[in-house]
Amino acid sequence: MSADRLKSIKDAGVVAVVRAPSASAAVSTADALIAGGVRAIEITFTTPDATTAIGALAARYGDSIVLGAGTIVIPAQAEAAAAAGAAFLVSPGSSPHVAKAMTATGRVVMLGALTPTEVMTAMDMGADAIKVFPGSLGGPAYLRSLRGPFPQAPFLPTGGVNAGNLGEWFAAGAIAVGAGGELCPAAAIAAGQRDVITGNAEEFTAALARARA
């Protein structure tokens, strides 16, 4: 099952990382992203009542999107996200007890890593994909370097990804990319500017199409 869900993330290409001030704002932001063509949505646990937003989106969109939970830092969050309907779970790092709880759910597990040692640790803990975070520190060139010793590792860089450099990340070997502030800026979320978020999503979607052409 997790292999099918990982393929869905690859197919989606862009994972929108939604950090909102409330569950309702997270749902509204996701609606705007989906309207712009982004099909993979990650609701972070920095969002108050994150599981409420996940549950609402799961009920509204079902399998037409790939829905996940991010910023998982304690085991209970993994369990709650899975129960709410998340298909993938993302942690910014690689904590053994958190990773164990994430893998126990049977969902796609993405563990955060930056150095080669961290990549190996995440893989040993059962990660289905490696969240290279923060990607802005090394850029696409760093990801390309990681691909040398880890040619088979599924990398999903997050941080520093925008519509202008999205193609470079895929050329460097990313299976998909994560985008937060560049795709759904905090100011636009707070102001309820859905048109801005939808416009950004359309730019990312177009950039993804160019990268895959």
- pLDDT for res 4: 76
* 10 catalytically annotated: no
**Backbone dihedral region for residue 71 (phi beyond 0: left; psi -120 to 50: alpha; all else: beta):** left
Q: What is the CATH number of the domain that holds 174?
A: 3.20.20.70
Which segments of the chain are extended strands (E)?
14-18, 40-44, 66-70, 88-91, 108-113, 129-132, 155-157, 177-179
Length of the chain: 213
* 7 catalytically annotated: no
Q: How far apart are CA 184 and CA 20, in angstroms?
A: 9
- Record the pTM: 0.96
Say how many domains are in the chain: 1
Q: Which of 42, 79, 118, 182 is flagged as catalytic?
A: 42
Q: Which of 10, 79, 100, 131 is flagged as catalytic?
A: 131
Residue-range definition of the domain harbouring residue 72: 2-212
115-129 per-residue burial string, b: 16 or more CB within 10 A, e: under 16:
eeebbbbbbebebbb
Strand pairing of 40-44 and 14-18? Answer: parallel
Instruction: Show Cβ contacts of residue 93 under 8 Å, excluding neighbours closer than 6 positions.
Output: 73, 111, 112, 113, 118
36: number of Cβ within 10 Å: 22
pLDDT averaged over 10-residue windows placed end to end, the chain, 213 residues: 81 98 98 98 98 98 97 98 98 97 97 98 97 96 98 96 97 98 97 97 98 93
- pLDDT for res 2: 65
Strand partners, 15: 40, 178
